[in-house]
Copies of this chain bind each other. A is one copy, B any other.
Amino acid sequence: MSERIAHSGLKNKVMTADEAAQFVNHGDRVGFSGFTGAAYPKALPTAIANRAREAHERGDEYAIDLLTGASTAPDCDGVLAEADALRFRMPYQSDPEMRKKINSGAMQYADIHLSHSGRQATSGVFADIDVAVVEVTRIDEDGNLVPSSGVGNNVEFLDQAKKIIIEVNSWQSLDLEGMADIYRVQPKTPIPITDTGDRIGTTYIDIDTDKVVAVVETDSPDRNSAFTPPSETSEKIAGYFLDFLEGEVAAGRLSYDKFCMQSGVGNVPNAVMAGLLDSKFENIKAYTEVIQDGMLDLIDAGKMSVASATSFSLSPDAAELMNQKADHYRKYIITRPLQVSNHPEVIRRLDLISSNGMIEADIYGNINSTNVTGTRIMNGIGGSGDFTRNALVSTFISPSIAKDGDISAIVPFASHIDHTEHDAMVIITEQGVADLRGLSPRERAPKVISVAHPDYRPLLEEYFEKAQTGKHIHTPHTLSEAFSFHQRFLDTGSMQK
């Protein structure tokens, strides 16, 4: 048995995943660890999926409600969705199989602000949790859990759950111990973080060991997506983002020293971080959701002094590096409970600049982050609302077109709105920067249209001009044509005329 289980009582609870899955029953509300493909349970999902399949073959019902930190992986969300093992899922997912099930109507999905998700699990909305299934790198002699590659909503799920199943994953480095900073948000008490790197809690999660019904040993990697080198478009967007930062410095609103960033996940953010490597910015700090490859590069280059997040989202190469050098990186990296990493209080206090991706923006700066043509969920809002609303400056970064130009990221009216005109401050595409701060809707539209792809600009200008001939033009619209881009895409496969 693994020496990673130091608590004698919990050693006696070691069993196979199939045995442990017997504690997860039809109708249960289950909280999983897992955030952006890191730290999710590796064995229980397949075992639960098998139970579901067997039940369905017998003609019995079997479906659970699944809560996580955020997205997991094909061997977690994927296998459960394929087996029709889920009735309901919250608060964020990005799995192709699960997406199909949600969009076909086969399962329910509540797309919730991540900062709300843990709070709803303690304040009553989702408080009735039957089982928590949490991956750890080690259980100490007192039964405390040492988080693996992320924290997410683990604390809330472990506190609320009636039964606990622990997966001890020996693939995860033991040197991750010390990276996590576990703090429970206290009623009517300020969160005592005043700088990005502040540690305010413990390196482990204390639990009620009497609730543990099973411990399962695993040795499986996180879902680490291969790193794609930045495209020409990503590099252009990153260039404009850096130009924007330089402009903020020139205007006296930002300093080259100790700039604090939040960054969404993906190709463009990694290009931004590559750009920061060669920039004048020093002692960069990240107060963000996930640790990405680009942050490790910035740390290695001595450009980033601290990165605070709730989880990793690394390429296989970077994950390998982390597993070898966790004792080094934990000097620079803190993983916090999602309730802390995404808390409005701390985000606002740190005066950070946020950058997140989007599906589309409308000409007045309303942002769709989630539903293609208003109906088809892609992933979810995640923490983009937490950071956008509370950042000192919120930016959205995206290529101006998708699908070889058949989709424009700038549209007359966003077909779903996740961030309103009151929240989005700056929109950046490979066409340039639209700084919308302090502007009325009619002042914003030409700026937003200027960062649309040239193929779409005339159509957008035409819409905006016609809309201004309407009777009321605080927010000029011709409602009968507001979704014309989307309708054309649905009818012809392209938003272009």
Contacts and interface: CB of A to CB of B under 8 A. Distances in A.
A391 B88 CA distance: 24
A420 interface: yes
Interface of A is mostly: loop
Contacts of A417: 366, 417, 420
Interface string A460-491: 00000001101111111101101100110010
Interface in A342-379: 343-345, 348-351, 366, 371-377
A113 interface: yes
B111 A422 contact: yes
Contacts of A403: none
A97 interface: no
A229 interface: no
A377 B438 contact: no
B374 A103 contact: no
A349 B189 contact: yes
Contacts of A184: none
B472 A103 contact: yes
Contact of A375 (B88, B103, B475): B475
A422 B375 contact: no
A123 interface: yes
A475 B416 contact: yes
Copies in the complex: 2
Contacts of A421: 111
A392 B474 CA distance: 33
A324 interface: no
Nearest to A437: B125
Q: Using C-beta atoms within 8 Å of the partner chain, give the interface range for chain A.
A: 35 or more
Nearest to A103: B472
Given A125-B438, A190-B194, A377-B474, A390 B344 contact: yes
A206 interface: no
Contacts of A376: 471-472, 474
B390 A88 contact: no
A456 interface: no
Q: Top 10 A-B pairs ranked by shortest CB distance?
A: A190-B190, A376-B472, A108-B440, A377-B474, A345-B345, A344-B344, A124-B253, A417-B417, A103-B472, A479-B483
19 contacts: A102-B474, A104-B472, A108-B443, A110-B440, A111-B421, A113-B422, A116-B422, A119-B392, A120-B437, A123-B253, A123-B392, A124-B252, A125-B437, A126-B438, A188-B350, A374-B475, A377-B474, A420-B420, A483-B483
